[in-house]
Amino acid sequence: MTHVRINNLTKAYSGVDAPAVADLDLDIPSGRLIALLGPSGCGKTTTLKMIAGLIRPTAGDITFDGDSIVRIPPEKRGAVMVFQNYLLFPYMSVGQNVGFGLKMAGVDPKTIDQRVKEMLNLVRLPDISDRRPKQLSGGQQQRVALARALITKPRVLLLDEPLSNLDAHLRDEMRELILSVQRDLGITTIFVTHDQEEAVLLADRIAMIFDGRLQQFASPDVFYRHPASERIARFLGGVNFLPGKRQGDTVETDVGSFRFAPGGEDERPPEDGLLTIRPEQIVLGQPTAENTVQGRVVSRIFVGTYTRYRLALGSHQIEAVRSADVAGDFAEGQDVPIGFPADRVWMVRPDQAA
C-alpha cells in the first residue's frame, strides 16, 4: 500500500492561456480508492498521466510514501495505468498479454504462467488464457487489461474511464470486480470518471475538478449533503436553489426561514448564497415541525418507481421526487405543504459557471 501526495501540481501547455491542471493538492492515504471527477477537458486524465509519468508536470511534485517520483521513469515508478480502450496486443493470446510485463522484467516462464493463472482467476476469467483479444467481449477485454496491470504488483493502480466503453449490465459487473479486487489487494487506486454515479459507487473520496482546479475533496456523502458550490451541486444532480442569507444556522429567503444542521469545521456555508436541497429529500404532504412552507403542484411525471413533481414556491419553482411506495398522490394545481428537513438543507456559494 502506498501513500500518494500531490503538491501544487500544474501542467501548462505553450500557446494555451489557461493551464490544463493548476495548483492541484491531494493527499491520498494508503489503500484508498479515489475518484477524479469532472466534465470532459477539466484535467482529470492529464493528472492521471502525470502520476503515471506519461506527462511531465510544469510545476509541483508527486510523492509515493514521501519520496518524489517526478524524475523517475514511468516503468520504475510502480504506477500502472489501465486505459479506457484496453490497448491489448491483438497478435498475442490473453495469457501472453497478461504476462507481458513480467516477461519484459525477465521473469522465468514457469513463474509467469503461474502468475497469469492467478491473475485470471482474480478477475474471474479462468480458462481463457489461449484466446485472442478479438474473441473476447468488451467487458472481458477490460478484465484482461486489469489483470495485465495487476500482475506486476504495482504500488498504485490508475484507471482512466475504466467503464466508459461498457454497456449498463457490464458496468455493474466491472464496478463489483474493481471494488472486490481493490479491497482484496489493498492497492491505492485512482480512477478518472465524468460519471457521478460511478464515482459515488466506487470511491472512498472524490476529487471534484473544474477547469483544471480542485473544487472539493470529500467523501461521496459529503458531496450530496454539503456541496461546496452551486456548480458542484448541479453536477451531482441538484436542481433546487433559493437565494438567501445565512444567520447562524438559519437561512432567510423570500419564501421563509429554513434552519439547517451545521457541518464540520471545513464545511461552513457562505453568509450569502443559495439554499439547496435535493429533490428526493423534500417531504411532500406531511407538515414537519420546522421548515414547512406551502406550495402548489405545477406538473407531475409518473416514472413507475417514483413521481417527479414541479412545485411553485412563491416566485420560484423547485422539484421534488416522491417514491411510489409512499401512499397518496398530488394533482396539478393542488396546494401542498412542502417540508425541508433541517439535516438535508444546505447553503452553497453561487457560481457564474453553473
**Is 173 exposed, middle or buried, given 0-12, 13-18 or 19+ CB atoms closer than 10 A?**
middle
- In whole angstroms, what separates CA 109 from the centre of its chain? 39
Q: How confident is residue 354, by pLDDT bands cut at 50, 70 and 90? A: very low
Mean pLDDT, to the nearest integer, of 183-202?
Answer: 93
Q: What is the pLDDT of residue 287?
A: 73
User: What pLDDT is recorded for position 271?
Assistant: 80
Percent of the chain clearing pLDDT 90 (strictly above): 72
Section 28-33 average pLDDT:
96
Distance, in Å, from the CA atom of 187 to the CA atom of 197, rounded to the nearest integer, reads: 22
pLDDT at 100: 93
Query: Is there a contact between 206 and 217 (Cβ–Cβ < 8 Å)?
Result: yes
Residue-level pLDDT at 247: 87
Fold of 4-222: Rossmann fold (3.40.50)
Q: Average pLDDT of the chain? A: 91
Residue 103 has pLDDT above 50, yes or no: yes
Q: How confident is the model at residue 353 (pLDDT cuts 50, 70, 90)?
A: very low
Please report the pLDDT score of residue 264 as a whole number.
Answer: 63
Question: Per residue in 236-259, pLDDT tens?
Answer: 999 999 999 988 889 999 999 999
Residues of the chain with CATH 2.40.50.100: 228-348
The helix-helix angle for 138-150 and 168-185 (nearest 10°) equals 20
Confidence of residue 352 (pLDDT cuts 50, 70, 90): low
- Split at pLDDT 50, 70, 90, the class of 171 is confident
> Given CA atoms 227, 231, 237, 242 in this order, what sign does their dihedral have?
positive
Residue 131 and residue 317: Cα distance in Å, rounded?
A: 57
> What is the secondary structure of 161-212 as a DSSP string?
STTTTS-HHHHHHHHHHHHHHHHHHT-EEEEEES-HHHHHHH-SEEEEEETT
Q: Is the pLDDT reported for residue 129 higher than 90?
A: yes
Percent of the chain with pLDDT over 70: 97
Does the domain made of 228-348 have the CATH classification 2.40.50.100? yes
List pLDDT tens digits, range 42-78: 999 999 999 999 999 999 999 999 999 999 999 999 9
Decide if pLDDT at 163 tops 70. yes
Give me the residue label for grid cell 484507471: 159
- Per-residue confidence at 235, pLDDT binned at 50, 70, 90? very high
What stretch(es) of the chain map to CATH 3.40.50.300?
A: 4-222
Which comes out higher in pLDDT, residue 201 or 84?
A: 201
* pLDDT tens figures, 289-323: 789 999 999 999 998 889 999 999 999 999 999 98
Q: Is the pLDDT of residue 85 over 90?
A: no
Digit-coded pLDDT (tens) for 204-213: 999 999 999 9
Which pLDDT does position 90 carry in this prediction? 92
